[in-house]
A and B are shown apart, each in its own frame.
Chain A
């Protein structure tokens, strides 16, 4: 367990066996260490606290992580995702949009990237003027452009309008955005905050756009709560997860009380609204919250995902995160606690976005090129600091620290292992994958499920013992191999038939390169153990040897890092089909996937980890 994953450590009451330390991790793993001597326990506690709260960037793992790649490979890894290419793919620059270098030295906005995309009619003067009227100088800039109808999604922070302030350049900026879409005579301005919060901001000289001042805008509040509410919501939900043997009531009440799914739905609804405005109405949207780096990022990326199937591919998703989160200055350091900082800045913002994606995957199983594991591993690495992608609070800080020269890119690592992350049901030509995704907006409360794959990730007993994804991937691979084999044999046959006339000599037996996978999903490895269904049986001597200790499962940190939740199933197919061996390399070499989750071997107790 990486120190960076440690969220909190609790010293629990001493028991007969020793002094327990409860370690809660940011990836939702919970570990209990029982240390015999109180003195040692205290030392460990103090040390872990210090290690989990690094003060300098250099303390982070990414600066010492060594996957044994050369400089060239490291560089190539960072080049895998290229935003310039991405905007080109969207069709920019064009008649309406251009790239601007006004922020080339971060002189206009230090949390924005050096390359921003703005309407053609937005001069540098307008941009600079607008930036002075926006919180943190985060002026309206392009997030997504829909070339089919010229509608766009732009993002910014809140205007410094107070009760009555105006800014000509800012108004011109919004007009420029409108003009960049000749198909519509107005734009939506979406404030993702609850109305009350936005109004309260006015007293502090900030606020929101007045429809009277900005010509041709339709203003809309969406009502997503702030980072503090979200932090508390997650906290409450995790408390529910920690309940011992909760009843259905306890669970449902607790989940509702946390408000978590309500918030997820709010983010999703905002994304749906924006996607609809762009795809169906052909109207451009300007999105902001307070500072334009949390809710704005969530909502813009959800909308983009709904609109454009490219973002539902593996590569596209990486690009999406680079675009709306990394380049636009989401404060990774503050939000996810890379370094020790203000606990009030911590909030599961990107976690919520990742969950929105999962919820969509559940509703549209064929629409995404990647699978649940992809999302879980990304979340894991946002906190792991093993790679440099999610460090610092802005592009400016990352460049100052020379992140790309001193660390490695997660995307390159995941790309190399992409076979693990594929969704076997995805087909780019499938109707579900093409065009805009249209989730039902109402009624649809029930469509939001509790993501036990993430929040109970390490509790083996909770998950289906058999991974359908891995099985189907293995089937797909085998079919492909058999088809290739068939082709080869077909050619051989043709050749033989030809040469049969002249020469009956049989060619040397072709080496059977492609081994059969012998897909058997059944048997020994699916043995699982019963949960604790009843206390009454304890008085009878249990004859089952496999009813392991509950304590054991808490200490088991799956070291194998095999890709699947049913290791034996895919392990066989991996070795036989020649897919890269995914087992963990030596610690110094790093290169491990995060410790894998559910459904390990038969003899372990199924019951929950602590």
Chain B
């Protein structure tokens, strides 16, 4: 699986031999590959007007392009804000709750993200074909897809350590601009242009996987909530800045502590483990039917309703498993 940003085809359909050659080396003679473009076909076409575009079939004959539009940017942030508002609105009665939930579109985004990641995984696992994923800049929906696909495909990404490695690789080092994206969260009136909850969407999708495959992830919901918290505000330097270059310039590694170092301490670590975990060597294919995708109550109702009874249930599960 490869990732990149959009090719700069532009309105004059420029070609780039090096780019074609690079992609060419990925595939053997006669092999086919898939390009998953996270923009709609129309949006991708329009991108040419501003210097971007798509890989033309003629120049990349072995690659088949699939478009799977995934929401990002302002609309995604709005979706998030609307959802949080809906969750906090004590005046909605049951008559309106579901349509309000629907109008936020958040769950639709979860469904779309999971479906696209599954598609990428399916290309690799079932079609045994290579996949290139990109959107516009390769820093948002691209990473969402590649990271999620790896959780689906690769059991080592489902371990606590492996998942951290995945985050380092596919989000942090890959240059997801955390500083811009995770600036003020849902309550701010600032409505910053660059803010968007892609990382939260990723965590939500991972939570959906943990619900559908309760034995297959080594980490618990608590880890996901902690990651969410730290992406926005953290005592650690892990999610600082927008890319490696900035982190180097700011000397993040010299001046701050790593979240991972703290999480992995034996005393801390056990809080983030899933007591039901059992190594599952297989690919986990989630259902993306609407009934299978649920609102992540642990996050969205975190401060609204007590988690006491569910916590007690988990404590009981822990007790049963440890007692054995």
Tell me if A461 and B320 are in contact (CB < 8 A).
no
Residues of A within 8 A of B292 (CB): 452, 462
Kindly state whether residue B229 has any CB partner on chain A within 8 Å.
no
> Which of chain A's residues has its CB closest to B301's CB?
A446
Q: Interface residues of B toward A: which range?
A: 35 or more
> Which of chain B's residues has its CB closest to A265's CB?
B94
Q: Identify which of A143-151, A200-208, A339-347, A463-471 touches chain B.
A: A463-471
Residues of A within 8 A of B276 (CB): 468, 471, 521
Contact residues of B between 59 and 103, Cβ < 8 Å to A: 64, 66, 87, 89-90, 92-99, 101-102
Give the complex CA separation of A431 and B115 in angstroms.
Answer: 41
**Contact string against A for B residues 91-128, beta-carbon threshold 8 Å, 1 for contact and 0 otherwise:** 01111111101100101100100010011011101111
Residues of B within 8 A of A245 (CB): 289
B242 to chain A, nearest CB (A): 31
Residues of B within 8 A of A542 (CB): 126-127
Q: Identify which of B186-194, B265-273, B309-317 touches chain A.
A: B309-317
Say whether, besides A248-B102, A479-B323, A522-B215, A530 and B285 are in contact (CB < 8 Å): yes
Tell me if A475 and B320 are in contact (CB < 8 A).
yes
Tell me if B87 and A446 are in contact (CB < 8 A).
yes
Kindly state whether residue A13 has any CB partner on chain B within 8 Å.
no
B287 to chain A, nearest CB (A): 5
Tell me if A528 and B127 are in contact (CB < 8 A).
no
Give the complex CA separation of A448 and B215 in angstroms.
Answer: 25
> Which of chain A's residues has its CB closest to B65's CB?
A536
Give the complex CA separation of A189 and B123 in angstroms.
Answer: 63
Kindly state whether residue A98 has any CB partner on chain B within 8 Å.
no
Contact residues of A between 492 and 531, Cβ < 8 Å to B: 519-523, 526-531
Tell me if A479 and B128 are in contact (CB < 8 A).
no
Q: Identify which of A32-40, A362-370, A396-404 touches chain B.
A: A362-370
Say whether, besides A262-B94, A452-B292, A465 and B212 are in contact (CB < 8 Å): yes
Residues of A within 8 A of B312 (CB): 365-366, 430-432
Kindly state whether residue A314 has any CB partner on chain B within 8 Å.
no
Contact residues of B between 286 and 300, Cβ < 8 Å to A: 286-295, 297, 300
**Which of A479, A530, A608 has the most C-beta atoms of chain B within 10 angstroms of its own C-beta?**
A530
Say whether, besides A366-B312, A440-B305, A472-B320, A253 and B118 are in contact (CB < 8 Å): no
**Contact string against B for A residues 532-554, beta-carbon threshold 8 Å, 1 for contact and 0 otherwise:** 01101100101110010000000
**Contact string against A for B residues 182-211, beta-carbon threshold 8 Å, 1 for contact and 0 otherwise:** 000000000000000000000000000001
> Which of chain B's residues has its CB closest to A608's CB?
B289
Kindly state whether residue B213 has any CB partner on chain A within 8 Å.
yes
Tell me if A248 and B316 are in contact (CB < 8 A).
no
**Which of A466, A479, A523 has the most C-beta atoms of chain B within 10 angstroms of its own C-beta?**
A466
Tell me if B126 and A248 are in contact (CB < 8 A).
no
Kindly state whether residue A95 has any CB partner on chain B within 8 Å.
no
Residues of A within 8 A of B179 (CB): none
Residues of A within 8 A of B99 (CB): 252-253, 256
Kindly state whether residue B249 has any CB partner on chain A within 8 Å.
no
Give the complex CA separation of A526 and B284 in angstroms.
Answer: 8
Tell me if B321 and A531 are in contact (CB < 8 A).
no
Say whether, besides A247-B290, A253-B99, A606-B285, A466 and B126 are in contact (CB < 8 Å): no
**Contact string against B for A residues 407-446, beta-carbon threshold 8 Å, 1 for contact and 0 otherwise:** 0000000000000000011010011100000001011111
Tell me if B309 and A366 are in contact (CB < 8 A).
yes
> Which of chain B's residues has its CB closest to A524's CB?
B282
> Which of chain B's residues has its CB closest to A248's CB?
B108
Residues of B within 8 A of A462 (CB): 287, 289, 291-292
A234 to chain B, nearest CB (A): 16
Tell me if A522 and B293 are in contact (CB < 8 A).
no
Kindly state whether residue B278 has any CB partner on chain A within 8 Å.
yes
Contact for B290 among A248, A468, A478, CB less than 8 A: A248
Kindly state whether residue B32 has any CB partner on chain A within 8 Å.
yes
Count of A-B contacts with CB under 8 A? 193
Contact residues of A between 212 and 233, Cβ < 8 Å to B: none
Contact residues of B between 205 and 259, Cβ < 8 Å to A: 211-216
Tell me if A464 and B214 are in contact (CB < 8 A).
yes
Say whether, besides A253-B102, A533-B119, A533-B122, A262 and B95 are in contact (CB < 8 Å): yes
**Which of A427, A462, A533, A543 has the most C-beta atoms of chain B within 10 angstroms of its own C-beta?**
A533
Tell me if A531 and B118 are in contact (CB < 8 A).
yes
Tell me if A445 and B94 are in contact (CB < 8 A).
yes
Tell me if B316 and A430 are in contact (CB < 8 A).
yes
> Which of chain A's residues has its CB closest to B305's CB?
A440
Residues of B within 8 A of A266 (CB): 94
Tell me if B119 and A534 are in contact (CB < 8 A).
yes
> Which of chain B's residues has its CB closest to A482's CB?
B324
Tell me if B108 and A249 are in contact (CB < 8 A).
yes
Kindly state whether residue B5 has any CB partner on chain A within 8 Å.
no
Tell me if A249 and B289 are in contact (CB < 8 A).
no
Tell me if B107 and A248 are in contact (CB < 8 A).
yes
Tell me if B316 and A366 are in contact (CB < 8 A).
yes
Give the complex CA separation of A427 and B213 in angstroms.
Answer: 25
Kindly state whether residue A192 has any CB partner on chain B within 8 Å.
no
A525 to chain B, nearest CB (A): 10
Say whether, besides A446-B87, A468-B276, A543 and B301 are in contact (CB < 8 Å): no
A443 to chain B, nearest CB (A): 4
**Contact string against B for A residues 353-394, beta-carbon threshold 8 Å, 1 for contact and 0 otherwise:** 000000000011111000000000000000000000000000
Tell me if A248 and B90 are in contact (CB < 8 A).
no
Contact for B213 among A431, A465, A544, A547, CB less than 8 A: A465
> Which of chain B's residues has its CB closest to A466's CB?
B215
26 contacts between A and B (CB under 8 A): A246-B289, A247-B108, A248-B293, A250-B290, A256-B96, A256-B97, A256-B98, A262-B93, A262-B95, A367-B309, A430-B312, A443-B90, A445-B94, A446-B97, A456-B291, A465-B213, A466-B213, A479-B320, A522-B278, A522-B279, A530-B121, A533-B115, A533-B288, A536-B66, A543-B127, A543-B128
A475-B321, A527-B282, A537-B126 given; name 16 further pairs at CB < 8 Å.
A246-B290, A249-B102, A252-B98, A252-B290, A262-B94, A427-B316, A445-B92, A446-B297, A450-B291, A466-B216, A479-B324, A526-B282, A533-B122, A534-B119, A542-B127, A544-B126
Report, nearest first, the 5 A-B pairs whose CB atoms are least far apart. A251-B290, A256-B98, A365-B313, A252-B102, A445-B97
- Chain B residues within 8 Å of A, Cβ to Cβ: 32, 64, 66, 87, 89-90, 92-99, 101-102, 105, 107-108, 111, 115, 118-119, 121-123, 125-129, 211-216, 276, 278-295, 297, 300-301, 304-306, 309-310, 312-313, 316-317, 320-321, 323-324
